[in-house]
Amino acid sequence: MSITYRPLGRTGLKVSPLCLGTMNFGPQTSEPDAYAIMDKAQDLGINFWDTADVYGWKKGEGVTEQILGRYFAQGGGRRDRVVLATKVYGDMDLPDRPDPNFARGLSARKIVQACENSLKRLQTTWIDLYQMHHVDRACPFDEIWTAYETLVRQGKVLYAGSSNFAGWDIATAQAAAKERHFMGLVCEQSVYHLDNRMVELEVVPACRHYGLGLIAWSPLGGGLLGGALQKRKDGRRSGEGFEKNVDKKRDNLEKYETLCRELGEAPANVALAWLLHNPVVTAPIIGPRTMDQLTAVSKVPDIKLSPEMMKQLDEIWPGPGGEAPKAYSW
């Protein structure tokens, strides 16, 4: 894997073209296996890592952040080599100690206290990228940016990011930041893959306009684009909902997996490479459960898709018709 690091949005921060997602660490990947995956990611030069306070799925505990914190505590420059991203918004209210200010939201109090808690769990003194995990339209951005300014001034947060924002949410956030002479958002993390291209209507244009890097989550469509038909032939099955979606998309998948075989590349790698051909995309998030899954995608940054291949993918997986309003108007 040859790494060409790229700027995160309009910043001078250099990150790898693949982002290591850690959501599986704890619930599906044991701590020792997670350590091995993180070591391998560093060996491969993947320096951009993403987590969230709610990951681990034990309410209020931050299980995945704790795993990362114990990994960093081993020393050896592990933390220093990582551009570390985590998130705030989710419900971190402890079941035995209810507190409405730790429920979902982005109040200044929630942001500041959540950051302190994440720093403790991650065993670090700073977070490179602190992302709002979801928009909170009940909370004004003047309040949100007050909290971020405090954390930046204290050196606890370096950059602000968003996740699951609409295009107009990005515009609203940046307008409020500009009035405060604050940098505002540097990236947006959205669901984006060949079978879900809705962000091309307004989120992608907003990111381009404001200089935000787009971080694609679920880049394989929950496994749909990872060779679902071939895996079914090999006797591997998933949940009922996934199987229904495979049946629904069978025609698209047959064309897609045939095209990938002709190209000589795994379907998952083609789906990830397609995202990297979009200049607005900084990195797709890969969420390996196993070492094999990590090493399988390590060649993605080296895959070059021809204009003809991009055209064929567009025919198999058509988007919304371009950017708004031309996609639906004139």
Active site residues: 55
- Specify whether the backbone of 301 is left (phi greater than 0), alpha (psi in -120 to 50) or beta: alpha
Q: Which residues contact 132 (CB under 8 A, 6 or more apart)?
A: 87, 88, 89, 106, 144, 160, 161, 162, 163, 165
Q: Is the CB of residue 200 less than 8 Å from the CB of residue 224?
A: no
Q: Is 181 exposed, middle or buried (0-12, 13-18, 19+ CB in 10 A)?
A: exposed
**Residue 127: strand pairing partners:** 157
Q: Which of 247-250's residues contact partners 24+ apart within 8 Å by CB, and which partners?
A: 249/195, 249/224
Asked if omega into 320 is within 30° of 0 (cis), the reply is no
How many Å apart are CA 206 and CA 103, to the nearest integer? 29
- Beta-carbon contacts of 95 under 8 Å, excluding residues fewer than 6 positions away, are 59, 60
What is the spatial distance between Cα 34 and Cα 67, in angstroms, rounded to a whole number?
8
For residues 34-47, b (16+ Cβ closer than 10 Å) or e, as one string? bbebbebbbebbbb
φ/ψ (deg, to 5) at 229:
-70, -40
